[in-house]
Structure 1
Amino acid sequence: MNRRAALRNMALIMGGAIILPSCLHDDKGKAVVKLNNLTVDAEQEKIVNSLTETILPKTDTPGAAELGINLFVFKMIDDCAGKEQQADFITGLNKFADAAKQKMGKPFVDSTDKERAAFVSSVEKLGKDKNYKDDSKLMAFYQMVKGQTVFGYTTSKYFMTKQVVYELVPGRYNAMFPASKATV
């Protein structure tokens, strides 16, 4: 064997030895989103992803998951909310998960789209009830996610280019527009 082939093979073996541990690393339980202030695990991330998709499902227009609204929600809460709001978000997220499991008998993520929509609708009704003050953290979480989902959608590239027709100057100049005789 010549020396060049031996060096090339050694380089491949060393490169493989360096890369192999990263391929075998198990990221179960770790969130995909990198956040600075919030600590969210993979299960909590799935709940928020499912909730944003329930609020803004895919129809003839893209849904929240397709537009990446779920990542937008996490980033906005992480960057723009205060420490107290972030704590309320995490507490409300846990209460939301517990309430969903209690009401539906299974986790929010594992339920069908109709079951999710019914549960979110019941949470929405509780939020409109003035006498209901039992789960203020749950309602704060839901309102934050819903508000950021709508905001993320209405400021997304898809919405701003495909849904809203942007015109630099509203109306066009039409020199051939028929005018009636001016009355003096």
Structure 2
Amino acid sequence: MDAETYITSHWIPRRVWTHLAWPRHQERLRRCAELMPPAGRVLDVGCACGHSTEIMRRFRPELEWSGADFSRTGITMAAVFFKHMKFYLVPQPNDLSNVGKFDGVVCSEVLEHTPDDGALVDALIQVAAGTLVMTTPWARVSDPGHLRVYTEEALLALFAKPGHPGTLRIEREDKFFYLVYARER
């Protein structure tokens, strides 16, 4: 299912963003924000209607937060709800060329929705001038947009190729893998 369909048929009608208030998701977003650089610009890729971006901004208000999504409806709503932040509509998960470089990039709970996950990882690494943090569930979740569940080995394989000049560590907490990629300078 493409991002626009997911947002308009699942995320908005079922008010899925309200789940972000649950302790598990608050902790996930707090951890993502905590892993960002001490200063600079941060991009939340796959921000839907901007709620995750706003939550992370509250955890780390000293950073300049922006969001990006693949759904026009999601980005339109984000711009209405959160006027104090910038939001980008990106054409495809493998093309983030219209957003520029960011000191930190968060891509939380998006990878498992993406048909070409390797292309998304490549695009995220191009945008991240410093730290990239991704999360994905390690167990099956009832969500109509999930295409796969990852093992740690599968996640390592996505990053283990030429053109990814950095270090990767994977943490497992609660129901999520946290991938922390630091670009070599």
Fold match (TM-score > 0.5): no
Q: Which has the higher contact order (CA 8 A, sep 6+)?
A: 1
Query: When you count strand as a share of all residues, which structure comes out higher?
Result: 2
Query: When you count helix as a share of all residues, which structure comes out higher?
Result: 1
Between structure 1 and structure 2, the one with the greater Rg is 1
TM-score category by the smaller chain?
A: under 0.3
TM-score (ref. length: structure 1) = 0.26
